[in-house]
Structure 1
Amino acid sequence: MSNDIAYPVFCTPDPALALSTARRLVEFGRTEFCEVRAYAELPSVTEVRRVAKGLPQAWFRGWEKPGEFDAVPSDEQPALIFGVQGSALPADPAAYEGLLPVERELDDLPVGSIEDTFITLIGPNAGELNWDSLSWPDAPELDFFGESKHAEVTLLLNTRTRDFDEPAADHTVLVHVRSIDVDGRQLQEPYAHWLAQQVGLTVTGPGQR
C-alpha cells in the first residue's frame, strides 16, 4: 500500500485565479478517466440552505461525535446522519442541532461539470476541489518514471491544509505525488518541483499528507 503527499504550488485570495491555475495542472495530467470531487464544510443552517439552493443534487451530511448514535436504531437517527440531498433537506432549524458543521459533497463527476459553480457558492466556507485519476509523465532528466495512482490536484478553499484546520482568506493549489520517505526525506519531492515547473509554477512549502 502506498500513500500520496501534496505540495503547495500557488496561493491567492482570488478563487477564480486559483481555479484557473489548478486547471493548468489538471490539463497537464488529464486522462479520459479523470474525475473531480467537490467538498465543503458548512457551519450554519443559513449556509447549508444557501449552498443547497445552488446545488440541490449535492449530498449533505451532519457532523456527529464518534459513537454518538451507536445505540440508536437506524430508523430513529436523524436523516442528516446518513446524508440528504439538497432538495430534501429538513425545513426545521431544530433538525440541525448538534449536527453542525454539515458536510456537502459531490463525488466522481466529469471534469468541468461542477468547478465554476462550486467556487461561486463556497463563500467564506472551507472546502476543496480534488481532481484524481490523472497521469503524470516521465521526467527522464530526473530519473523519475510517470505516476498515475497518486497523480492528483487539489484546490483548497479558505483553508491552508488538507485537514481543514487552518482557516485562511486565500486559496491554495496542491500537486500530489507518491510519498516515498527515506530517513525523513521525501524522494519524490523533486518530481513535484518538476511538475509545477512544467506549467510555470513552483513549490512554495512543505508537503502535506
Structure 2
Amino acid sequence: MSNDIAYPVFRTPDPALALSTARRLMEFGRCEYSEVSADAELPSVAEVQRMAKELPEGWCRGREEYGEFDGVPYEDQPPLVVGVQGPGLPADPAAYEGRLPVEWEMWDVPVGSIEDAFTAAIGSNMGRIRWENLSWPDAPDVGLYGEFKHAGVSLLLNLSTREFDEPADDHTVLVHVRSAIVNGRQMREPYVHWLAEQMGLSVIGAEQRS
C-alpha cells in the first residue's frame, strides 16, 4: 500500500487564474481515465441552499454526533445525514440544527464537467477540486521515473491545506505524486520540482500528506 504526497506550486487571490493554472498542470498528465472530484464545507443554511440551487447534482451531508444513530437503521436516519442531492434538501432551517457545517461533494465525474461551475459558486466558502488518475511522464534526462497511481492536481479554494483546517484568503494549486521516504528523506520531491518547472512554476511550500 502506498500514499500520495502533495506540494504547493502556485498561489493567487484570483480564483480564475488558480483554476487555469491547475488545468494547465492537469492537461500535462491527462489521460483517458482521468476524473475530477470537488467538495466544499458550507457553514450556514443559506450557503447550503444556495450551492444546492447552483449545483443541484452535488451531494450534501450534515454533521452527526458520535454514536447519535447507533442502532438506527440506515433508512430511518435523516436524509441530510446519510447524504442527499440538492433537490432533496429540507427546506425547514430547523432541520439543519446541529448539522452544520454541511459537506457538499461530487466524486469521479468527467474532466471539464464541474470545475467552472464549482469555482464560480464557491464564494468565500472553503472548497477543493482534485483531478485524479493522471499519468505524469518519465523524465529520463534527469533520471526520474513517471507516475500514475498517485498522479494528481488539487486546487484549494479559500484553503491553505487539503485537510480543510486552514482557511485562507487565496487559492493554492498542489501537485500530487507517490510518497517514497528513505532514511527520512522524501525521494519523490525532485520529481515534483521537475513537473512544476515544465509549466514555468516552482515548489513554494512544504509537503502536505494525506
Tell me if both proteins adopt one fold, taking TM over 0.5 as the criterion. yes
Give the structure 1 partner of residue 182 of structure 2: 182
Give the structure 2 partner of residue 206 of structure 1: 206
What TM-score do the two structures reach when normalised by structure 2?
0.97
CA contact (8 A) 1:78 1:95 kept: no
In structure 1, stretches of 5+ residues that fail to align are none
What one-letter code is carried by the residue in structure 2 that aligns with 1:190? P
Give the structure 2 partner of residue 144 of structure 1: 144
Give the structure 2 partner of residue 36 of structure 1: 36
Shift of 1:57: 1.2
CA distance, structure 1, for counterparts of residue 75 and residue 151 of structure 2: 40
Give the structure 1 partner of residue 115 of structure 2: 115
Shift of 1:2: 0.5
Give the structure 1 partner of residue 82 of structure 2: 82
The alignment of Structure 1 onto Structure 2 pairs a total of residues equal to: 209
Query: 1:131-175 CA distances to partner (integer Å, 9 max, x unpaired)?
Result: 001000001133221110000000001110011111001000000
Shift of 1:94: 0.8
**Mean alpha-carbon deviation: is it higher for 55-64 or for 10-19?**
55-64
CA distance, structure 2, for counterparts of residue 186 and residue 202 of structure 1: 17
What one-letter code is carried by the residue in structure 2 that aligns with 1:198? Q
What one-letter code is carried by the residue in structure 2 that aligns with 1:98? G
CA distance, structure 2, for counterparts of residue 70 and residue 142 of structure 1: 55
Indicate whether 1:192 and 2:192 are aligned: yes
CA distance, structure 2, for counterparts of residue 123 and residue 116 of structure 1: 13
What one-letter code is carried by the residue in structure 2 that aligns with 1:160? S
RMSD over equivalenced CA pairs, Å = 1.0
CA distance, structure 2, for counterparts of residue 199 and residue 37 of structure 1: 23
CA distance, structure 2, for counterparts of residue 74 and residue 178 of structure 1: 36
Give the structure 1 partner of residue 157 of structure 2: 157
Shift of 1:43: 0.6
What TM-score do the two structures reach when normalised by structure 1?
0.97
Secondary structure class of the residue paired with 2:127: strand
Secondary structure class of the residue paired with 2:208: coil
Pairing 1:122-141 to 2, within 5 Å after superposition: 122-141=122-141
CA distance, structure 2, for counterparts of residue 152 and residue 193 of structure 1: 14
CA distance, structure 2, for counterparts of residue 15 and residue 193 of structure 1: 23
Query: 1:104-125 CA distances to partner (integer Å, 9 max, x unpaired)?
Result: 1111111111101001100111
Secondary structure class of the residue paired with 1:105: strand
CA distance, structure 2, for counterparts of residue 151 and residue 66 of structure 1: 34
CA distance, structure 1, for counterparts of residue 173 and residue 206 of structure 2: 13
CA distance, structure 2, for counterparts of residue 166 and residue 5 of structure 1: 18
Secondary structure class of the residue paired with 1:5: strand
**Mean alpha-carbon deviation: is it higher for 172-181 or for 57-66?**
57-66
Shift of 1:39: 0.4
CA distance, structure 1, for counterparts of residue 124 and residue 7 of structure 2: 23
Secondary structure class of the residue paired with 2:100: coil
Secondary structure class of the residue paired with 1:162: coil
Give the structure 1 partner of residue 53 of structure 2: 53
